[in-house]
């Protein structure tokens, strides 16, 4: 315990990214890819109360770069199994809630160490199951390690005596106690970092959870749950329940025993969860808490004072990193008219040289989108975009197996166009001309979302104004709109982007706790 206490009180530091220009690191990553390739196609059970549960009804997770390649096979959880998982979590909560905060934090630190040791293996799982490039995969695993280390330290901080006004004749104490049984529903686009962050924030706070992973990325979640079991997290604290969201998801959210729901995903599903959770069920004695992150339509604004080369680089990185499949992706480039014609070709030229290929190749920049449904939806938006602007790049087919869509840039888009208002979640960039900075700021704020945004400018007055008026949860000056770092950039947005949960920040664990004050009258 002394060692753990020492670790918990050291300052949090972000995990450095791997340097793939180092031949030895590159070779180690390739070896990990080869090793994981040999493990593809295995069957994984449900885990309910620590017991492995199988079923005749299964589904598969596939490699989006090679759709005929099965990554993992999973049981389709039933409503009855969902209720059993809640019961197992409820039973485990009776003892887990009283495990000391520092002991719970110790499990996270141990998991961070094990994940660090198996970092390249988890990189490889991300490459195969979600089509991430080597760099994008490694950045995500580093973020997952950071969440574990950060939330462990945050739980230790919250467990310390809290400052209260002292009154004569009384002793007062405030403690943050857990909520109960939670349901964690993570997305497929960050299936390790966000899934792991929501799950471990829940349990380190003293709650127990039912984890319903994204079906397209269930193998990564299964491996992470197994890792937590390896470091000793008790049975029933995390229950692993892959399956159809429309069936078991609604059952989990609606159950009277569910105390909170942590969700990251689409706007429509998030609103449905919010509505369902707000309806009291027979026997329910609490208001359910929802922690929702629901996407964005993020903008990169460029004014006439900006470094146009830096801005073009930031726009391309924001729009096309991980094929634009990030809620923070800069899918709108809003350029003031004075420099519009100068920067547009710079954006196009930078996007042209992005290498499209198999994610398991180290030189690939652009891999596939996640599945056939995403492929179809994005292609439909591209066709809409043909009528809403000028096709500057992309729009065609990629001659290779898999769900590949080339980087697509559409210029001359009206601020109210569908491709400028609706979340596409793919490699499609709408370029919008603004009259001036005032107009650009109004356009940036002109959607129902409010997650991230960037402003490229050298004008300090405009930065100060944007800090007040650019209505997003995460605003960046002279850098891309993606790449929030745990601890440095607490992440979450406004409006239809969610409940501003600020993952990776000092407020986050408060969402999974409730404050209890104990007062004793003393003589």
Residues annotated as part of the active site: 293, 327
Spatial separation of the C-alpha atoms in residues 176 and 182, rounded to whole Å: 16
User: Which residues fall within 8 angstroms of residue 111, CB to CB, at 6 or more apart?
Assistant: 148, 200, 227, 228, 231, 233
Spatial separation of the C-alpha atoms in residues 231 and 169, rounded to whole Å: 45
Q: What's the token pair of residue 118?
A: 């198996």
Instruction: Say what the alpha-carbon torsion angle 2, 4, 8, 10 is, to the nearest 10 degrees.
Output: 70
Query: HEC states along 200-233?
Result: HHHHHCCCEEEECCCHHHHHHHHHHHHHHHHCCC
User: Which residues fall within 8 angstroms of residue 84, CB to CB, at 6 or more apart?
Assistant: 48, 49
The closest of 13, 153, 131, 9 to 63, measured between CA atoms, is 131
State the DSSP string of 378-435: HHHHHHHHHHHSEEEE--S--SSSSS----EEEES--TTSHHHHS---SSEEEEEEES
Are 255 and 86 spatial neighbours (Cβ–Cβ below 8 Å)? yes
Q: What's the token pair of residue 430?
A: 């709408």
**How do 332-336 and 428-434 pair as beta strands?**
parallel
User: Which residues fall within 8 angstroms of residue 495, CB to CB, at 6 or more apart?
Assistant: 448, 449, 450, 471
Extract long-range pairs of 221-230: CB within 8 Å, 24+ residues apart: 221/186, 221/191, 221/195, 222/44, 222/72, 222/74, 223/122, 223/125, 224/122, 224/144, 224/192, 224/195, 224/196, 224/199, 225/47, 227/111, 227/114, 227/115, 227/118, 228/107, 228/111, 228/200, 229/47, 230/114
Spatial separation of the C-alpha atoms in residues 294 and 498, rounded to whole Å: 5
Burial 208-241 (b: 16+ CB within 10 A, else e): bbbbbbbbbbbbbbbbbbebbbebebeebbbbbb
């Amino acid at each position: 315990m002394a060692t753990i206490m020492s670790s918990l009180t050291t300052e949090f530091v972000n995990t450095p990214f791997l340097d793939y220009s180092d031949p030895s690191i590159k070779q180690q990553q390739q070896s990990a890819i080869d090793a994981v390739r040999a493990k593809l196609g295995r069957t994984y059970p449900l885990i309910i109360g620590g017991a492995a549960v199988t079923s005749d009804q299964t589904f598969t997770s596939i490699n989006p770069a090679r759709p005929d390649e099965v990554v993992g096979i999973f049981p389709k959880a039933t409503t009855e199994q969902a209720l059993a998982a809640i019961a197992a979590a409820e039973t485990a909560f009776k003892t887990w809630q009283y495990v000391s905060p520092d002991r719970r934090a110790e499990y996270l630190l141990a998991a961070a160490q094990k994940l660090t040791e198996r970092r390249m293996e988890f990189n490889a799982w991300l490459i195969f199951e979600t089509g991430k490039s080597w760099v994008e995969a490694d950045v995500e695993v580093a973020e997952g390690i950071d969440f574990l280390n950060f939330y462990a330290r945050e739980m230790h901080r919250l467990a310390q005596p809290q400052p209260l006004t002292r009154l004569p004749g009384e002793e007062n104490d405030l403690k943050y106690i857990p909520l109960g049984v939670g349901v964690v529903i993570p997305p497929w686009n960050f299936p390790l970092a966000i899934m792991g962050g929501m799950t471990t924030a829940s349990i380190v706070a003293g709650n127990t959870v039912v984890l319903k992973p994204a079906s397209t990325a269930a193998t990564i979640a299964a491996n992470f749950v197994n890792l937590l079991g390896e470091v000793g997290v008790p049975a029933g604290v995390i229950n692993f329940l892959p399956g159809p969201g429309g069936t078991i998801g609604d059952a989990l959210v609606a159950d009277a025993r569910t105390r909170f729901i942590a969700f990251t995903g689409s706007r429509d599903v998030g609103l449905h969860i919010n509505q369902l959770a707000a309806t009291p069920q027979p026997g329910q004695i609490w208001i359910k808490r929802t922690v929702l992150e629901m996407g964005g339509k993020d903008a990169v604004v460029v004014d006439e004072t900006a470094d146009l080369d830096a801005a073009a680089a930031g726009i391309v990185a924001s729009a096309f990193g991980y094929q634009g499949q990030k809620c923070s992706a800069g899918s709108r480039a809003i350029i003031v008219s004075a420099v519009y014609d100068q920067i547009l070709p710079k954006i196009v030229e930078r996007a042209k040289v992005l290498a499209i290929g198999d994610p398991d190749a180290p030189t690939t920049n652009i891999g596939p989108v996640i599945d056939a449904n995403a492929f179809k939806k994005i292609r439909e938006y591209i066709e809409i975009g043909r009528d809403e602007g000028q096709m500057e790049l992309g729009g065609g087919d990629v001659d290779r197996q898999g769900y590949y869509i080339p980087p697509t840039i559409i210029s001359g888009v009206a601020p109210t166009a569908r491709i400028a208002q609706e979340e596409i979640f793919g490699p499609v960039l709408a370029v919008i001309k603004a009259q001036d900075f005032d107009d650009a700021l109004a356009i940036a704020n002109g959607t129902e979302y409010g997650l991230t945004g960037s402003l490229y400018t050298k004008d300090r007055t405009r930065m100060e104004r944007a800090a007040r008026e650019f209505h997003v949860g995460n605003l960046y000056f002279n850098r891309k709109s993606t790449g929030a770092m745990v601890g440095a950039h607490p992440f979450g947005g406004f409006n239809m982007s969610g409940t501003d949960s600020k993952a990776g920040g000092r407020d986050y664990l408060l969402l999974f706790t409730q404050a209890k004050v104990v007062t004793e009258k003393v003589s």
